[in-house]
């Protein structure tokens, strides 16, 4: 499994504000999108390109364009929706799937409730968007369902991860690529990341 932690001053700065319990919801959403844009740039570095010739106002020149079919973005509902606008800014023609999972608060087991994927997953790069990689259960289930639907080229994009979640995915999906803003210390007894940022979905949508 490939893990890329985006060690960047802007990520550190924005994460310091995202973590702050006093940050209001409107600013929290904006910061998640801003960090998401950096994560989107980093996670798309390996997209295949092809050579093309274009006419500039002055001359013909060779350049590169994306070669593959439009990528697929799959936010894990609901918190994953916070990263979606960032990716669509860079990949406006991307196809968007949705996967609804919630974590049972007692067992911490992910429970699926909605699924809608675009066609031709086997031919497209697929980016799973899930801001918090905590126990790894939801992310592992998301990747499992996408693989079952034909996806081969998969990357998980998260704002924060816990070591326990990374270890889980290493065992379940050793072929996965993970791009993350930071790896935190550990999980607490309720499965929340420490020091973390709280419940990303609640803070994004004002339901705390």
What is the per-residue pLDDT across 37-91, written as a single tens digit (0 to 9) for each? 999 999 999 999 999 999 999 999 999 999 877 999 999 999 999 999 999 999 9
Q: Is 125 inside a domain boundary?
A: yes
Helix H or strand E segment including 197: none
Q: Is 61 inside a domain boundary?
A: no
CATH code, domain with 113: 3.40.50.2020
Q: Supply φ then ψ for residue 95, to 5 degrees.
A: -85, 145
Q: Is 170 inside a domain boundary?
A: yes
- The answer, yes or no, to whether residue 101 has pLDDT greater than 80, is yes
Q: Is 57 inside a domain boundary?
A: no
Partnered with residue 102 across adjacent β-strands are: 111
Q: Is 34 inside a domain boundary?
A: yes
3-state per-residue secondary structure call for 155-184: EEEEEEECHHHHHHHHHHCCCCEEEEEEEC
**What mean pLDDT do residues 107-136 have?**
92
Q: Is 55 inside a domain boundary?
A: no
Write down the pTM of the prediction: 0.93
Q: Is 189 inside a domain boundary?
A: yes
Distance CA 175, CA 1 (A): 5
Q: By residue range, what is the domain housing residue 116?
A: 2-45+71-205
What mean pLDDT, rounded, does the chain reach? Answer: 95
Confirm if 189 and 172 have CB atoms less than 8 A apart.
no
User: How many CB atoms sit inside 10 A of residue 1's CB?
Assistant: 15
User: Domains in the chain: how many in total?
Assistant: 1
- The answer, yes or no, to whether residue 107 has pLDDT greater than 80, is no
- The answer, yes or no, to whether residue 183 has pLDDT greater than 80, is yes
Distance CA 20, CA 95 (A): 33
Q: Is 64 inside a domain boundary?
A: no
Retrieve residue 158's tokens: 């998260």
pLDDT at residue 164 in the model? 97
pLDDT at residue 200 in the model? 94
């Amino acid at each position: 499994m490939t893990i890329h932690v985006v060690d960047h001053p802007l990520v550190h700065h924005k994460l310091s504000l995202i973590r702050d319990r006093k940050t209001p919801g409107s600013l929290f959403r904006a910061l998640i999108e801003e960090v998401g844009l950096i994560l989107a740039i980093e996670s798309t570095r390996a997209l295949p390109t092809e050579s093309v010739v274009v006419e500039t106002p002055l001359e013909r020149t060779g350049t590169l364009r994306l070669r593959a079919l439009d990528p697929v973005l799959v936010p894990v509902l609901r918190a994953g929706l916070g990263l979606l606008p960032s990716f669509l800014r860079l990949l406006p023609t991307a196809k968007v799937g949705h996967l609804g999972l919630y974590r049972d608060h007692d067992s911490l087991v992910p429970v699926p409730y909605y699924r809608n994927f675009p066609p031709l997953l086997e031919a497209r790069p697929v980016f799973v968007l899930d801001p918090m990689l905590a126990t790894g259960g939801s992310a592992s289930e998301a990747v499992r369902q996408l693989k079952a639907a034909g996806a081969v080229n998969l990357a998980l994009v998260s704002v924060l991860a816990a070591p326990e979640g990374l270890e889980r995915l290493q065992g379940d999906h050793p072929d996965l690529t993970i791009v993350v803003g930071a790896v935190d210390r550990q999980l607490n007894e309720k499965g929340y990341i420490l020091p973390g940022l709280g419940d990303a979905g609640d803070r994004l949508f004002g339901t705390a």
